[in-house]
Structure 1
């Protein structure tokens, strides 16, 4: 653990597309590449115990800060602080290009799983295999406008809070309290300590964080517009494209965040596919709560 923590203190930077991306790069440079993608409101430290398990098996492992997190910054001051779904996938492909990674196994949770799903669906030639917590998370603005049953709507309370100016200001003022509440409700049986939380919460101090998060959730509800150059990608995603690459989906048995039953999305994976439910009180931040199970899925899905 101590060695992996030292590794996560060595965050590199690279220009990739619209961003200068902060990332950890570990393991043999010529090893088969794995990209690990975090979600909201977490950061790269969700993978701090996963990385040594993968590098120990000979993989090169890259863990980037998503746009709006950690040391990742926009290269242009006037760039749109866009959080729509396809943009994060474009960021990932740009990062792979910048690091000269032609193909990689992609693995993530929450926003990271959605991003990995999109790359696997739209750029399958760049994705050797996929590990996605909570499965198939590709959606569209149009479907996001459709009302859900009251119980399901209740679990998305923060999405509606963020739709208001009060919510934007409240999140900006109370980032840590807000993030801790999400951690606790999304992983009700995970007993993380203050040091573990603060290590990741520091990434939320990114100057673009609030704008990216608010735009992401408003965009999902059709309350914010995206950028026209991504319209064609979003149109393709609205068709719910099948994922053909070898895939393992994971779910914690105590995930308190909104998620579908695995049987609902299994049909979206048309290639070699397996689902695993991880027991023992594992919540939403599965790679940090069950690093061995997450790493095992990555090692076993890669052809």
Structure 2
């Protein structure tokens, strides 16, 4: 895969590209705490079957950089959605299949909901409808869920800032183990991705993300209009496939997708047994198959 860069919105986005330039475009989007290596195997499969594959590093990861030192290092959902839309527009892509999980899945859901004319289909890993309801974020969840989300509360304080700054690799490796208990990844696999956490904006973007979603900090004013639209929890009307890991340690399946009502177009849901949170890297063939199915529609 070739690494390229393009100026898009607030960023110079670094991304991997593979496949035929004339093929149907698919954009694969990683989450926290992962990077483009979560998508490379699925991306190779898709490129080999004729797709144009684009895999960007999100803001705060790897070689992606902010264009202006004065831009807030926001990790809010609206910023992720704005980055993805700017990326699609900068490349002048026709309607693309967007596929992601965690932060990347959130960006994909946002663009699918707000700009469906840019989206051919959506593959959403994990909880499906991945747009935050910030107004309801203060309501307590079950004790089991609160326990799984300990890292989010850790990031709310300055102890968490110091811990993420000092121990980012050990902390992120711990999350990999907790979230994908059946995935036997090796040191080299983790090290390839962990280099992306050395981005100078990683800590600030991560902290802002986990504080903003609980309304603890203000967002970037540049994205306020998008956040206002997301507060209405807009439906997703494009064709969608939801994949959930049966062994996901942070977002376990409930036997069905409780967010089905938010999908108003063609929709399917599948639980992948033995797969954890990092679906595309743990089950690249299943992930690629879902993307290809939507690209054919």
- 1:95 to partner: Cα distance: 0.8
Equivalent residue for 2:248, pick from 245, 248, 255: 255
Is contact 1:136-1:268 (8 Å) kept?
A: yes
Is contact 1:140-1:234 (8 Å) kept?
A: no
Is contact 1:156-1:258 (8 Å) kept?
A: no
**Which position in structure 2 is the counterpart of 1:233?**
226
| Aligned positions of 1:58-73 closer than 5 A | 58-73=50-65
Of 237-246 and 38-47, deviating more is 237-246
CA distance in 2, matches of 1:271, 1:67: 30
Is contact 2:13-2:56 (8 Å) kept?
A: yes
Is contact 1:32-1:60 (8 Å) kept?
A: yes
Equivalent residue for 1:121, pick from 87, 109, 113: 113
CA distance in 1, matches of 2:71, 2:78: 16
CA distance in 2, matches of 1:140, 1:11: 35
CA distance in 1, matches of 2:182, 2:190: 15
Equivalent residue for 2:12, pick from 10, 20, 26: 20
Equivalent residue for 2:195, pick from 181, 199, 202: 202
**Which position in structure 2 is the counterpart of 1:30?**
22
TM-score, length-scaled by structure 2: 0.97
Structure 2 alignment gaps of length 5 or more: none
Q: Deviations over 1:200-253 (max 9, x none)?
A: 000000000000000000001111100223222212212111111011000111
Task: Name the SS of the counterpart of 1:244 in structure 2.
Answer: coil
| Aligned positions of 1:142-291 closer than 5 A | 142-259=135-252, 261=254, 262-279=256-273, 281-291=274-284
Structure 1 residue 136 corresponds to structure 2 residue 129: yes
Is contact 2:245-2:253 (8 Å) kept?
A: no
TM-score, length-scaled by structure 1: 0.95
Structure 1 alignment gaps of length 5 or more: 1-6
Equivalent residue for 1:88, pick from 71, 76, 80: 80
CA distance in 1, matches of 2:246, 2:294: 21
Task: Name the SS of the counterpart of 2:97 in structure 1.
Answer: strand
Task: Name the SS of the counterpart of 2:16 in structure 1.
Answer: strand
CA distance in 1, matches of 2:142, 2:276: 23
Q: Deviations over 1:54-98 (max 9, x none)?
A: 111111000000000000000111111011101111101111111
**Which position in structure 2 is the counterpart of 1:99?**
91
- How well do the aligned residues superpose, as a CA RMSD in angstroms? 1.1
Task: Name the SS of the counterpart of 2:175 in structure 1.
Answer: helix
Q: Deviations over 1:163-213 (max 9, x none)?
A: 110111111100100010000000001000000000000000000000000
Is contact 2:82-2:223 (8 Å) kept?
A: no
**Aligned residue-pair number:** 294
CA distance in 1, matches of 2:251, 2:149: 7
CA distance in 2, matches of 1:153, 1:178: 18
CA distance in 2, matches of 1:291, 1:198: 19
Structure 1 residue 78 corresponds to structure 2 residue 73: no
Task: Name the SS of the counterpart of 1:11 in structure 2.
Answer: strand
